[in-house]
Amino acid sequence: MYDLIIIGGGPAGLAAAKAAWDKGLTKILIVERNWELGGILNQCIHNGFGLHHFKEELTGPEYAARYIDEVEKTGVEVRLDTMVLDIRQTERKEDGLPVYEIPMAGKECGYTCELTKSVVLAMGCRERPRGGVVIPGTRPAGVFTAGAAQRYVNIDGYMPGKRVVILGSGDIGLIMARRMTLEGAKVLACVELMPYSSGLNRNIVQCLNDYDIPLYLSHTVTEIRGEKRVEQVVVSEVGPDRKPIPGTEMVFDCDTLLLSVGLIPENELTQGAGIEIDRRTKGAFVYENMETSLPGIFACGNVCHVHDLVDFVSDESERAGASAADYVLKKKAVSEAAPVVTKNGDGATYIVPQRIRPENVEKFVKLFFRVGRIFPKADIVLTSAGNEIARFHKKFLAPGEMQNIVVTKEVLSKATEELLLTVEEIVETEVGA
Amino acid sequence: MKELICICCPQGCHLFVDEENDFAVTGNSCERGAEYGRTESMAPVRVLTSTVTCEGGAISRCPVKTKDAIPKGKIWEAEALVKQTSIKAPVQIGQVVIADIAGSGVDLIATKEIGALK
């Protein structure tokens, strides 16, 4: 019987394992489907990781190594090349806690079932595939997600193509524009449906501008041409309704189209276990301690909501791991009171955590959210039962950058049942006539 | 007058750099922005990250980076050297792969530990 089984050995799983061990859990197992720990960081060879967490700029493999080294110093067990197949509730109880059964299949362990008192879901996310964006045209080879291309280039050492168009301006797309250019490909264009890029400014400067790669905002790919291999893609401008404007077509002769059109949390196991999913985050509903709707099962990192910075994944996962330890060691009383439910109002697209048990909050709780459009200046307003209970002034809010506000226990005590978060834009008016 | 977008933080300030007035920076919200504006206008630098061939290891590519930023003008010369380079496993993080790459005074180092195949 394990105290804790962590599903996924990427940045989320590693940070959760370390935190749970430090809090006193001793029987911890990480199950990782790849042959090594570190998850997607292994193929993110560019730098810029760790600015918040380690106060220095690391590459992905270096950031992963820091955590792998920490976990290797503990007694945490790791099973590589092993895939979890299901999460099952059992009739059994251990120390009064429900016991979960985790069937898995692996290179070393074969098919086996392990029992555990708690679980941390740290499966991460996957890229939205071509089927997730409607692009008319044929089905030739040469259409890849940006992350798949990143793996081919950085791990396997293959170049997926020579003349490239990138659809979507998410950070992976921008990073791959530079990477493919350095490896000798010609990147003809980066095409973004929205009037703004969803990537970080620094990546637009360092990855596109440095290499003179044009960024077409308010444009999209309207056709893919080619029989066996991509031969051309057609790009059109879109109107404010995001529909292509006829007559604006540009044709690019290329052999490759990379898609960087969003990430989706990988929650098949979560759903199979009967855990409630938030359709906004596409991750589990979580409480203030990252616990899901099933007691003793926690979620953190990109499986819970997609992050832009790994530093925040590590922070969140350390909280999830510590919470799992508190749960197993019964450091906190189980609350019977109804939780405060957080709701995203105008201007916000989601909030994590979705539920808060005020008596479980020691000093404060951080609310993480995203805005629906660009706000140069705005107030984040919290209301409950029609009364404003807090207001936070913020600058430069963009959908591509996750925001957070700190809600103190005192502010939280004014909330009843529901806590509504809205974004009010502040429009500057000229003073004087 | 040269216009730049600052890349120090997500704010992305629009900087104006006066080349004729000792690269004086305006439009910045902090001192880091002023520093970035000056460096970027006088002698822009970047960290190069790439991969080299790795023989005898569990994987065939070893990720590498320049230990510090190198002049932007040396990026292509450095990348050409990276492409010709092959190393043998085992590899340690921080191991020097190419010393003083492209005469920049900066070493190219490995960023991943790769064990040798048994």
| Residue B11 and residue B58 in one domain | no
SS3 A126: strand
What's the rounded mean pLDDT across residues B67-86?
Answer: 96
At A380, the amino acid letter reads: I
pLDDT in tens, A270-286: 999 999 999 999 999 99
Banded pLDDT at A431 (limits 50, 70, 90): low
pTM: 0.93
Q: Which fold has domain A129-261?
A: FAD/NAD(P)-binding domain (3.50.50)
A418: pLDDT strictly greater than 60: yes
A155: pLDDT strictly greater than 90: yes
At A162, the amino acid letter reads: K
| pLDDT for res A400 | 83
- What domain count does chain B have? 2
Q: Which residue has the tokens 């105290």?
A: A3
SS3 A53: coil
Best B51, B76, B91 member to test A by mutation, with max A CBs in 10 Å, is B51
Beta-sheet strands, E only, within A203-359: 215-216, 219-225, 232-237, 250-253, 256-259, 263-265, 277-278, 283-284, 297-299, 340-344, 348-352, 355-356
pLDDT in tens, A351-368: 999 999 998 999 999 999
Query: Do the Cβ atoms of A352 and A365 come closer than 8 Å?
Result: no
Scanning B1-40 for CB atoms below 8 A from A yields 5, 7-8, 10-12
Query: Distance between CA B102 and CA B109 in Å, rounded?
Result: 14
Mean model confidence pLDDT for chain A: 94
Please report which helix (H) or strand (E) contains residue A271, including its range: helix A268-272
Query: Could you tell me which of A252, A263, A262, A368 has the C-alpha nearest to residue A315?
Result: A368
**What percent of chain A has a predicted confidence (pLDDT) above 90?**
84
Query: Distance between CA A287 and CA A285 in Å, rounded?
Result: 7
SS3 A209: helix
Radius of gyration (Cα) for chain B, nearest Å?
18
User: In the A/B pair of chains, how many CB contacts fall below 8 A?
Assistant: 65
Asked whether this chain's domains A2-126+264-334 and A129-261 adopt the same fold, the reply is: yes
Q: Which residue has the tokens 């009739």?
A: A91
CATH code for A2-126+264-334? 3.50.50.60
| Residue B66 and residue B103 in one domain | yes
Best A37, A46, A62 member to test B by mutation, with max B CBs in 10 Å, is A62
Would the CB atoms of A210 and B46 count as touching at under 8 Å? yes
Query: Distance between CA A3 and CA A155 in Å, rounded?
Result: 35
pLDDT in tens, A42-84: 999 999 899 888 888 899 999 999 999 999 999 999 999 999 9
Range of the domain at B87: 49-110
